[in-house]
Chain A
Amino acid sequence: GAVVSQHPSWVICKSGTSVKIECRSLDFQATTMFWYRQFPKQSLMLMATSNEGSKATYEQGVEKDKFLINHASLTLSTLTVTSAHPEDSSFYICSARGTGDIEAFFGQGTRLTVV
């Protein structure tokens, strides 16, 4: 299967700071990228969908000014958690899908802890 690399795997930051998470498709062109958040013992919650070169589409209840998504190229999307607070501590996962593909491939996930 195709490879999606997500970085960093884990990050600890102070409350009020911003954190950037990168998601790269290594061997295919990701026209669509999905960002998920997963709290302990819960399922994946879709935060937003981004298409290369377009603004991301956010799910209801997700603050677009707090979770900035950039999908400027066919191989890279970034999620920036701005002014992070302890309640933003979670597991963030990206997945990427190529044009005409059904399956989306997951990155390894990022464990964010805000202290």
Chain B
Amino acid sequence: GQNIDQPTEMTATEGAIVQINCTYQTSGFNGLFWYQQHAGEAPTFLSYNVLDGLEEKGRFSSFLSRSKGYSYLLLKELQMKDSASYLCAVIDSNYQLIWGAGTKLIIKP
């Protein structure tokens, strides 16, 4: 079966750095997305990785290792507005988007 695992909840302090991990087992791989979702809102795109390595975009970076079936989202200089759920999603060989359950990130002052 297809499976994506990410922690259910994480807590971090304002100004700090947090890493949210995602491991996946899917039938084929055509890329991995990270989305941010605030409560009551639709997800918003953060990053897309299809090749191994680190993609940096401002305070947010995303890493992918295809051989390990592993990705992480790194958030630096955390702000209170970063409190949200972070969703990992993989595109499989049929170009279907397989979603993780999401990681709720709580930022404390």
**A contacts, CB < 8 Å to B:** 1, 6, 34, 41-44, 46, 49, 91, 93, 102-109, 111
User: Across the interface, which residues of A come within 8 angstroms of B102, CB to CB?
Assistant: 43
User: Across the interface, which residues of A come within 8 angstroms of B99, CB to CB?
Assistant: 43-44, 46
Q: List 21 A-B contacts (CB under 8 A).
A: A34-B97, A42-B101, A43-B102, A44-B87, A44-B99, A46-B97, A91-B40, A93-B42, A102-B30, A102-B31, A102-B48, A102-B50, A102-B91, A102-B95, A105-B45, A106-B42, A106-B43, A108-B41, A108-B42, A109-B40, A109-B42
User: Across the interface, which residues of A come within 8 angstroms of B93, CB to CB?
Assistant: none
Known: A43-B87, A44-B87. A104 touches B41 (CB 8 A): no
User: Across the interface, which residues of B come within 8 angstroms of A102, CB to CB?
Assistant: 30-31, 48, 50, 91, 95
User: Across the interface, which residues of B come within 8 angstroms of A108, CB to CB?
Assistant: 41-42
**B contacts, CB < 8 Å to A:** 30-31, 33, 40-45, 48, 50, 87, 91, 95-97, 99-102, 104
User: Which residue, of A1, A91, A93, A106, has the highest number of chain B Cβ atoms within 10 A?
Assistant: A106
Inter-chain CA distance A93–B33, complex, in Å, is: 17
User: Across the interface, which residues of B come within 8 angstroms of A105, CB to CB?
Assistant: 45
Q: Which residue of B lies closest to A1 (CB)?
A: B45
Q: Which residue of A lies closest to B102 (CB)?
A: A43
Q: Which residue of A lies closest to B8 (CB)?
A: A41
User: Across the interface, which residues of A come within 8 angstroms of B48, CB to CB?
Assistant: 102-103
Inter-chain CA distance A105–B104, complex, in Å, is: 22
With A43-B87, A44-B43, A109-B42 already in contact, 20 other A-B pairs whose C-beta atoms are closer than 8 Å: A1-B45, A34-B97, A43-B99, A43-B100, A43-B102, A44-B87, A44-B99, A46-B97, A91-B40, A93-B42, A102-B31, A102-B95, A103-B33, A103-B45, A105-B45, A106-B42, A106-B43, A108-B42, A109-B40, A109-B41
